[in-house]
A and B are shown apart, each in its own frame.
Chain A
Amino acid sequence: MKKVFPALLIVTAALFAYAPLAIQRAPYESTMGLVQKIFYFHVPSWIAMFLAAVVCGIAGALVIFAGRKDADRVAQAAAELAVVFGLMGLITGPLWGRKAWGVWWQWDARLTSALVMWLVFVAYLLLRKYGGPGSEKLSAVLALFGMANVPFVYWSVNVWRTVHPKTSVVMTLQPSMGRPFLLCSLAFVGLFTILLAVRVRVENVRASIDELYLALED
């Protein structure tokens, strides 16, 4: 990871530097106009959130079934990132919706399920912070529930009636809109990977501190 990290940092920085130009060059959507351009950061932030949820869930499974302490540190880092990227999506969505739908929020299947998934990861972090010793396994179960929510949130627009655009919107994007979207998505995935690596490093340093305290006790 140490060898890949600088390259990933440079590529991600370059993608984010070019993103405003690519977004500005993308054509206006026919019915929503300028406000639709929120899409280029809104959807990638949810992609990063889903990725964080899946990483957190897999790491949680490793904690439960294999008792891996390193996986616990990854799960903790990923849960925090799920909250950060989810918050981006939850803020940018209503800003888009206010213009497109006339309201900030609708309690429909997609928006509500996304909020619930975000709250699961907020609960994970609160449990880790205030749960005390032994909260690792309980929070790992919560991480699995969070991960299980991902397909429900993703498919909710196709299954239930909702004001939110369907998943087919992304697949049917014209190249002039698809290219900047792909660029922003890659930038967010890169940002997620970088932040996860840095955040895991914080947890590793903390684990070393705990080991030193234990060594002193002995």
Chain B
Amino acid sequence: MRRLLSLFLFAFLFTLPALAMQQPPTPPDGFVPASSLPGQEQLPAAPLVIAAYSIVWLLVLGYLWSIRNRIARAEQELADISRRLAAGQRP
């Protein structure tokens, strides 16, 4: 999970500047009816909205899963040490 997160973080940090280098499209000389715009300009909003909400939920669920794993690991370690301490052993 940690490796995946690190990979995601690095990918995000390295792709952001690349995406940022995109220049905004040059404005046309005159008015252009929306119907005659090229396909790329008629960007549908729904996939962007769905992507935004999905990513937020994925991040929340991923973080909850990561916390759950960390709690389970820490509590197991705590129980293990307590048991060893009670038995008078070194960990």
Contacts and interface: CB of A to CB of B under 8 A. Distances in A.
Contact of B85 (A37, A122, A215): A215
Interface string A91-116: 11011101101111111000000010
Given A213-B91, A215-B85, A92 B63 contact: no
A35 B81 contact: no
Nearest to A33: B45
A42 B53 CA distance: 9
Contacts, number: 96
A198 B84 CA distance: 27
Interface in B1-43: 9, 12, 16, 19-20, 22-25, 43
A183 to B, nearest CB: 15
A35 B22 contact: no
A115 B70 CA distance: 28
B73 to A, nearest CB: 9
Interface residues on A, range: 35 or more
Nearest to B8: A87
Interface residues of B, number: 36
A208 B45 contact: no
B55 A212 contact: no
B78 A92 contact: no
Interface in A186-218: 191, 195, 198-199, 201-202, 205-206, 208-209, 212-213, 215-216
A38 B34 CA distance: 23
Interface in A26-77: 33-35, 37-38, 41-42, 45
B24 A209 contact: no
Given A41-B53, A98-B43, A99-B48, A195 B78 contact: no
A7 to B, nearest CB: 19
B3 to A, nearest CB: 13
A95 B43 CA distance: 11
Given A45-B56, A199-B67, A212 B49 contact: no
A150 interface: no
B71 A201 contact: yes
A209 B48 contact: no
Contacts of B90: 216
A84 interface: yes
Given A94-B19, A216-B90, A38 B74 contact: no
15 contacts: A33-B45, A35-B45, A38-B53, A41-B53, A45-B56, A95-B49, A98-B43, A98-B48, A99-B43, A99-B48, A103-B22, A198-B71, A209-B78, A212-B78, A216-B91
Given A38-B53, A99-B45, 6 more contacts: A41-B53, A91-B59, A94-B19, A99-B43, A213-B81, A213-B91
